[in-house]
Structure formats: C-alpha cells, structure tokens
Amino acid sequence: MSEEFAAAGAGVTGSGPLKGVTVLDITRVVAGPFCSMLLADLGATVIKVEHPDDPDYARTFPPFVSADDREFSAFFAQYNRNKLGITLNMKSAEGKALLRKLVRRADVLVENFRPGTMDRLGLGYEVLKKENPRLIYTAISGFGRTGPNASRPAFDNTGQAAGGLWSMNGYADRPPVRVGTIIGDLAASLYAAIGTLAALREAERGGEGQVVDVSQQDSVLTLTENAVVRYTTEGDVASPLGNDHPFVRPYGQFPCKDGYVFFGGYTDKFWRITCELFGAPEFADDPEIDTMEKRFDREVAERRVKPLLEGWFSKYSKAELEELAGDRIPLSAIKTIAEVVEDPHITARDMIVKVPVAGKLVRMFGLPIKLSGTPGNACAKAPGPGEHNTFVYSRLVGLTPEEVGKLAEDGVI
C-alpha cells in the first residue's frame, strides 16, 4: 500500500520503520493480536478485521475502564493499540469478495484460526496469493499447518503442556505448575513477527510472498533452554527445580529483610567480588568453594554457599542490596508488578506508556524494541468494532460512503 494511505491512518499509523506496510489482522485474543500490535507499534498500518456480529471476545476481558455507562477492556486495548478497525463477515459471498479486494492492497495477512479454516472459507493462501503474489500469509496455530496434530484445537496452556515447559516448572515435590503468564501465545506472536519481517524482506528482494507457519508448541519448545540436549545426549528428562538452575549455582532466589532477590554471582570473578562486598573475602579462597565447578555441586551449594548468602542478604532490604550490588554483581530485587510499573529505569526506557481507553489514559507496557533512527510509537488507541469502515473501504476498495452503509445494513460489514 502507498505511504500516503499509511500516513492517513487517523493518527494511528504513519511513522516508524514499517511505514508503508499494510497488515490485515484477522486474529483474536492474544496469539496474533500481539504479533500485529508489534508491527503497528513499528509503524505498519494494521487493520483489525472483526465479524460484525461476533467481534474479538478479548473485548470482554478484564480489567475494564468505564465511560458513559459502558465498559471498555484495557486488556483488549493493550494488544490492539495503533490499529484501524473494520468489520467483515467472511462467511458471506460479498464478505469473501471484499477480503480478496483488501488483500490486493495489503502486504501481510495474519490469522490464528485452526489450520484448514481459511481453506474451507475459500480464503486460504492458495486463493489469496492469486489476488496478490507478494502477500505474506502469517498463520499462528497450536500445532502448525503440518503434522498429525495440525487440526487439533489449542489455547496457550496447550502450548505450555505440549511444548514441555509445563512439565519443567514448579517444585520437585509438587505437581508441575504452568508458567504464570500466557507464554505460549506470547512466544508464538514473537516468532510470527520475526517470520513476517523475514518474509517481507524476501518479498522485497524476489517479489514473491509466502506462508509464515508458527506453532505454539514449536515456540514453547524453544524456550526450554537445555532440556532437549540434556535428554538427547544424556537421557536426562527435565523436571521441576523450583527456583534452582539445572547446574549453575549460586543462581536463584534468596530471601532478604523485605522480600526476595535474584542473585547470579556464580563465576569466580563475581563470587570473589561478592565475598569482598559482604566483608568476608576469605570465602573466595575457601578450598571447598573457591572455584565455579565446586560451587556447581548441589550438595556443596546447599551446605556451604546458600547459608552464607542467606546470612549476608538477611541483613538488608531489597533496595539496600541493589544499592550495594550496584554494577558490580548480578543482583536484582524480585519486584511486584506495582514496583516494576513505578521503576524509574522502566520509566526512563519508555516501557510504560499512556494509551487512551474510553477517553482516559491507561498505563500499559510499551514497545521493548528501541531503534535509534526510526523509533516506534505505542501510544495510539485501539479501535472500536468497525470504527474505520468508511475510511478503510473507501481508501482500499474504492467504495462510496453510501456503499459502505448498504454493506452494513446487509450484515456484510
């Protein structure tokens, strides 16, 4: 699409490194919306497509912001900021035709339906690439588009379970625990964004689009650190370790006066500095714990190293320990979300931004990708269902306002 259209995006798009890239986002909830949100924050014109009678049900997810006796989801706003919003019934013949026309002017389409759904609608990649050979078709699903499990339904927890991460999390004497966030959805969206950018680069070079196929299970599997090679080389099946690392020690959670800190001073350099900082330099030369390899031994770590650290840390608060550690040893307070949101460093990094929700400014996480020359922007609001119907359909498809109104009356948009 032309940069002129991108720049006209009602204050939503038009700046950043992806200026001029147009994305049709027909996803819902998080695995997909997060991917397209990242593209939008980086300047792409992202058009969120929702069914006129069944919009993204993430609009019903808490927390809510109230205005004019209505509630608006801040959850939805966080993952759909910076987007234009249109409605479209892709099950109707007219709706299918409209999507094909939109695809002609788009660079990317992102979907997170179960594999085969778009084909059954007559809108699969093989159909859409005839409308636009340069189209990048990014598909996010639980198990991917190939393999014996491709057709299975999936949620975030499916990815955590099937990808092995769930079995590794928690404590050894208790049942496994899911990771405390939707890591399957988030990881898949991140890989989808990376794949989309790679495919865009290839389309620029060769003129051909392609499918970007991302699975939640695949994505979670790559987050299991050394579990795969431990199994394939040693037959060791990873199991819950609580806050411990499989082999690196000391490297974990330690209590202090007002909470907990993470300490990772396992190298000989950091261990020596730590002993000096806490007024006990002799332990850096203690023959039982003077090398990294000796401290890796679980029995030695539990009997000698852990009691030393707990004794030192117990005399200080989280803030005092961070101050003491400074830039010399890897020690960080284990912060609550409240503490993170109010963290001066997070503020300095522009990682808490104010986005309009129902006329009020709501603080939410910002864009973690910092570009020195063409920075992104994460501050524009999320659209209402069909908010930009007239704007988008007139610019991309050439419809008049009257034609747009007629399509709305007929339930097509």
From CA 247, how far away is CA 179, in angstroms rounded?
A: 21
Residue 396 DSSP label: I
How many alpha carbons fall within 13 Å on the CB side of residue 165? 24
From CA 122, how far away is CA 104, in angstroms rounded?
A: 16
Q: Are 80 and 33 in contact (CB under 8 A)?
A: yes
SS (H, E, C) 152-200: CCCCHHHHHHHCCHHHHCCCCCCCCCCCCCCHHHHHHHHHHHHHHHHHH
Active site residue 185: yes
Q: What are the C-alpha distances in Å from 101 to residues 184, 340, 381, 390, 403?
A: 33, 45, 26, 15, 15
CA dihedral over 207, 211, 216, 217, signed as positive or negative: negative
Query: Shortest CA distance to 196 belongs to which of 182, 217, 210, 207?
Result: 210
Q: CB within 8 A of 74, min separation 6: which ones?
A: 63, 64, 65, 357, 362, 364
From CA 295, how far away is CA 163, in angstroms rounded?
A: 31
- Of the residues 185, 213, 218, 244, only one is catalytic, namely 185
Task: Write out the H or E segment, with its range, that includes residue 325.
Answer: helix 318-325
From CA 107, how far away is CA 40, in angstroms rounded?
A: 13
The catalytic residues are: 185
